[in-house]
Each structure stands twice: as C-alpha cells, then as structure tokens.
Amino acid sequence: MRGDSITGCELISRCLEAEGIRYVFTAHTERLHPLLDALEQKGDIRVVAARSETAATVMADGYVRRSRRVAAVLTDDNGAALSQVSGVTNAWADKIPLLSLSLSADSEPDFSKGYDRYRFDQGEVFQPVTQYRSKLESLSEAQSVFAEAVARSTSNKMGPCHVDIPARLLGETIDGRSAPDPGGFEERRIESVRMCGDGDAVERAAALIAGAERPLLFLGGGVHASGAHAEAAGLARGLGIPVATSMAGVGAFPLDDPLCLGGPSYTSGEVFHAAIKEADTVVAVGVSFGGLEGFGLPPLWSDAIRFIHIDVAPLQMGLNVHPEVAVLGDARTVLTQLAETLAGRGFTGRPEWGRWSARLAELKSGRARRLERNAMRRWPSMHQGRAAMELGRLVDRDDLLIVIDGGNTPLYATMYAPTIKPGQAFFPFGMAALGGGIPYAIGVQLASPDRRVLLVTGDGSFMYNVQELETIKRLGLPIMIAVNNDSAWNMIKAMQDSLFARNFVGTCLPDVDYSKIASGFGLHAERVSRPEEIAPAYERAVASGGPALIDAVTDSTNIPDSLLSFFLVEFEGAFAGISPTKLARSLWMMRDVGIHRMMYMSTYIRKALLKVFIPSGWGRSS
C-alpha cells in the first residue's frame, strides 16, 4: 500500500510490471528466490524457469520475436550473468529488444589487487553487445533505470539492454510511495514509432524507381520490426518489382510468390547472384548490409547499383553502401508514402520490368527443378534437401511455426521449403550462432499457445541446450523437433572437404541416436532414415499429444551450393592461403551443384576469385 515501506524485491517487481513486462525468464538460485517470489505474486507476471541461464536468455528472445512484446531475463551474478552473453549477443545482432537483468556484486571493483577476482566489473562484458547498460545504485532510482532500459531497447534501432542489480538492494526497504502503483497492468507491445520519411527524399526515391531499368526490392529485418509486410508486398506486386530478402528478413515476403527470388540472400543461389549483379536500382528496406549481405558491395554486388536506403536508424545509413537516396523513417510508413507518390504520378511500372522479372523467375524455376532433381536422385542415404522438402510440406499443411538452427541445415530448410509464409519462420541468424534452437522454440511456443512449433535443427546444434527438453516437458509444450542428423558439423566439414584436402579434424560427429536421448527426457521419439517415413512419424508424434522428436538420419556428403557464397564473404581476403587447384576442385566437386549451373554461377564469382588470388601471390604456397 502507499506509504508503507516495501522491500527491494517488491519495488523491482512493481517497476517491471509498470514497464509492461509479462514474462521473466530465469534459472533458479537461492539468492534469486525472494525476487522471483515477489514477481510471481504480481499475478500478471509469469516466471519461466529454464535449466540454465544460457537457455533462459534465448527463451526470452524467442518470446519477444514472436510476440513483439517486451520480456526480461533475470539471473544471478558472476558466471550466471555471463551465461546470458551468448543470448544477448544474438539479440543484439538481430536487433531484438530484450531486457537483460542480473544480480551483481555489492562492492565496486578493485583492480589494484590481482587476486580480488569476484570484484570484476560484470556489466562491462555487456558493453559491446547491448544498446545500453547500467547499474542500479539505489532503490530510489529503480523506476527510472528500468524505464530507461526498456525505452532504449525498443526505440530506433532496437536491441538488448543490460541492468545490474546489486544483491544487497533486494533486502533493503524503501517507502512504497516511491514505487509505481501496483496493478493497472498492460503488457507492453513493441510499437514502431511511425516516423514518416522526408517528402523530398521520397520524391527522389520515386523518381529513381520510375527511371530504373532493373529494380530490385530488398527486404530486411526492419520489415518485420515495423510490420510492413503488406506494404512491401503491395509495392512489389503493384509495380512488378522482383523481391529478395536478407537473412534477417526471411519470410518478409512469401517465398512462393512469382516475384520472390527464393530463399533469403544467398540461399537463392544463382538467382540472387544474377539479381545483385544485374540490377541497376535497389530499394533496401530495413537492411543493415552486413557480411551476410556481402556488405552490398563488389565483388558480389554490381558497383553500378543505385541504392535507395529506407531505415529508422540514421547511423545505419552509409555504413557500408552509399545510398543515392536515404529515407529516414519507419518502413511501413515510408513504403506507404512511396506507393502514394508513385500512384500520384500515375506510375504503374515499366514494360521492360516484365522481362527482367521473367528472366529472374526463369532462373528461379530452373534452380528449383535442379534442386528437386538432385534431391530425388539416388543417394546412399536420405538427401538433406529431400528431408527438408518433406518437413516443408508438413509446415505448410499444419500451419506450424518453424524455428531453424544449424549450419547447412538452415540453408537446406530455406532452399527446399519454399512454402514458408511471412512471420512463420524464425531464423535467428544475426550471429550465426549454433545451439539456440530448443530455447527459441520454447519462447516462440509460449508466445503462441494456439500454434504448434516445429524446430528443425542440425545434430551439432541440437545438443547445446538439450537439457531444456526437461523444460519442454515440465511446461507441457507440444513442440516438435526434427534433427537433421548427418553425423557432422557439416558446414565446416564441407570446408575441410574442399579447401583442406579432406583433412577432417573436429568435424565428424559419432552416430548418435538422438531419439534415445529424447526418450530419456520423456519425449515421444523416433528415428527415421527414409523420406517416406517422415510424414507417418510426424503423424504418430502429433497423435502422442505431447512434445516429440524425429531423428532423421541424412547423407553427410550433401553440400548446399549456397555455402560457396558464404565462403566468399567469410574468407574474403584470406584465400591466399588456399591453393587455387584445391579451390577449383571444390567448385567442381560440390555434388549438389550441376556443372552447368556451376559454370553459370562462376561467371558471377569469377571476378571475386581473381580478386582474392592475384594480389596475394598464391604461387608461393604449398
């Protein structure tokens, strides 16, 4: 009640409640109990306990991604706090707002003594991977510190914020009047500020589009953040502009739309490479142009492209590409403005765009046929793309939400499951960090009780958070897991195959039966090794009523062609150490890549290869 004194625990709970936090993810420790109890007594806050702090953080991220509502992760200090770093960094890379809270030491760090190791500055670790970090110095500032953290994490370019809570504050008391009023709770939605673009800039963008010969609409994570899917689709279809998405923008546009190039970024292979070499104008919406997108620069992109860059964060402008027109504003709002401006000019596209998009569509269908033919060929064991096709059908039929984790596994999933609809797939790819799959699936499932979540994961990635199968059971979540079990850290094994003369070190995994592990945790689990077995196994899994796992044994010699594009970015400037004969061999030997297409593709990457070899003098290498 007002006027009474309340404890730090009660105060912090009320502050989080006032910030509209409905879910707090944690891993229990004795010291946290009073605070967790206080949170649970709030009634409208749900405390979800994970088996590890690492997993709790990823669950919070998954919940936020799906619900577009703010959530918190709360842990103890020291190693428990540092265990949040992987999840927080993932959220940071994908620009997901997340409130990261941990207890911290009561005393200030004293660096003068080399042995005084508890007194390190834990918050400092979060500095490079958060939007903002701070420490609660006293209870009286709690309200403003939490408000600031939530505000910063949800404004402009979004991202996680970290707050350290000195443990002594939990037991201190404070006058209840300095706390926000209890009750009146409403879960905080992450609202985009509907900032409109400068009219002039929009005019110039419209003019640039109208004059383009081969325009491309390139959609990034900003489209999800702004909820601009309909506007983006409207613009593309209204004018007939082909659409590609970045990795973060996966699902921003239906993959099976004729205007869509295919899977995100390089996963659409030669279609994407052709588009970014031949386009003369690119309308980029909420894209950061990082390494995953080849920085938007040569050698992968044509340097004749004129960019129109639409983004809410001014610091993103000019970071890698230098736009012809930069429009600062919310994606949905600016796209609407752009459509209106073009309509105002009576502009409905140019006739030559039809040829341009038809050409890309032809490449796309050629690629789709080739991929399918490859997958349907006889392989020693199940082709990974074939497994992905089967799963894709199930996703489509049952309207599942799909979470993807792994190395090659996500590439196969996006290449072979073209029916994924906007908002349906969760592909936390910012850091390309393995292992978040199970906790992501839990977070996504908690945010959408009426849908079923399917996790598609590599075998390497699956184990990182396997302990959370217990959490799935405990919370009674109907999550389905499909393990693409190729007994390998295959994305990297493929690299050793092609660049290191098959010197396989640290990339082979033993033949582990993951269905046994899942059964150990009490899940319904089966192992399959043929494509026809997948759908029936799935039926039985659904019939079991609870969470289930399908361990699909697949062929480890399969290598997706889009991997090559990743290599080009990852090893740009580094190929000097690789002999060109080995590299050439690798290009020919990638078994999934038809020689025909390979040559086609290589016309686009030849320049890139020449560029990395010649100045660095490979001739002297082994």
Partner 1 sequence: MRYPSGGELLVECLVRQGVSHVFSIIGGQMGTIYDAIGRSGDIDVVTPRSETAAALMACGYTAASGRPCVSMATVGAGVVYEVAGLSKAWFDYLPVISIAPQVQSYRVKPHQESLQACEQDELFYPITKWNSIVFHWARIPQMVDRAFREALTGVPGPVHLDIPVDVLFKRSPLTAAREQRLMVEPGRSRYEGSIMGEADAAGRVFRALSAARRPLAVIGQGFGRPGRFPAAAASLEEMGVPVVTTVHSAGVMPDGSACYAGDLESCEGLEVVGQTDLVLLVGIDHGSRGFIERIGAAVPVVQVETDPTAFLSGRDVRVAVYADPENALAGMKEATVKADVSSWREEFVAAARDAADSAAAEHQVVGTIVDMLREAGTGRNVIVADGEVPALAARRVLTRVEHKAVFIMDEREIRGAGLPFAIGAHLSEPGDNVILVCDKNSLFYHVRELQPAVCGGMDITVICVDDVDAETNVADTGSVLSGLGCDVRRCAGGRRGDLASCLAGVPSAVILQ
Q: How far apart are alpha carbons 488 and 502 in whole angstroms?
A: 13
Confirm or reject binding of residue 461 to ligand TPP (CB under 6 A). Answer: yes
* DSSP assignment of 444-476: HHHH-TTS-EEEEEEHHHHGGGGGGHHHHHHHT
Nearer to ligand TPP, 45 or 517 (CB): 517
- Residue 511 CB: number of other CB atoms within 10 A? 9
Which one among 64, 252, 308, 491 touches ligand TPP, defined by CB under 6 A? 491
Nearer to partner 1, 129 or 441 (CB): 129
Report, in Å, the least distance between residue 433 CB and partner 1. Answer: 4
Strand partners, 548: 480, 524
Confirm or reject binding of residue 85 to partner 1 (CB under 8 A). Answer: yes
Which one among 286, 296, 458, 547 touches Mg ion, defined by CB under 5 A? 458
Which one among 20, 46, 120, 598 touches partner 1, defined by CB under 8 A? 120
Report, in Å, the least distance between residue 93 CB and ligand TPP. Answer: 12
Confirm or reject binding of residue 458 to ligand TPP (CB under 6 A). Answer: yes
Confirm or reject binding of residue 518 to partner 1 (CB under 8 A). Answer: yes
The crossing angle, in degrees rounded to 10, of helices 490-499 and 563-570 is: 70
Confirm or reject binding of residue 406 to ligand TPP (CB under 6 A). Answer: yes
Q: Which of Mg ion, ligand TPP, partner 1, none lies near 441, with the C-beta cut-off 5 to 8 A by kind?
A: none
Q: Which of ligand TPP, partner 1, Mg ion, none lies near 311, with the C-beta cut-off 5 to 8 A by kind?
A: none
Confirm or reject binding of residue 272 to ligand TPP (CB under 6 A). Answer: no
Q: How far is CA 104 from CA 100, 134, 164, in A?
A: 12, 11, 6
**Closest by alpha carbon to 160, among 251, 254, 85?**
85
Of residues 86-105, those binding partner 1 (CB under 8 A): 86, 89-90, 92-93
Q: List the 548-553 sheet strands across, edge first.
A: 425-426, 401-405, 453-458, 480-485, 548-553, 524-528
Cis peptide before 299 (omega within 30 of 0): yes
Report, in Å, the least distance between residue 481 CB and partner 1. Answer: 14
Q: How far apart are alpha carbons 158 and 330 in whole angstroms?
A: 13
**Residue 74 belongs to what H/E stretch?**
strand 72-75
Confirm or reject binding of residue 434 to ligand TPP (CB under 6 A). Answer: yes
Q: Do 234 and 422 touch, CB atoms closer than 8 A?
A: no
Confirm or reject binding of residue 497 to Mg ion (CB under 5 A). Answer: no
Confirm or reject binding of residue 459 to Mg ion (CB under 5 A). Answer: yes
Confirm or reject binding of residue 118 to partner 1 (CB under 8 A). Answer: yes
Sign of CA dihedral 201, 207, 211, 216: positive
Report, in Å, the least distance between residue 490 CB and ligand TPP. Answer: 3
Which one among 228, 239, 292, 371 touches partner 1, defined by CB under 8 A? 292
- Residue 529 CB: number of other CB atoms within 10 A? 13
Q: Which residues bind ligand TPP (CB under 6 A)?
A: 406-409, 432-435, 458-461, 484, 486, 488-492
Q: Which residues bind Mg ion (CB under 5 A)?
A: 458-460, 486, 488, 490
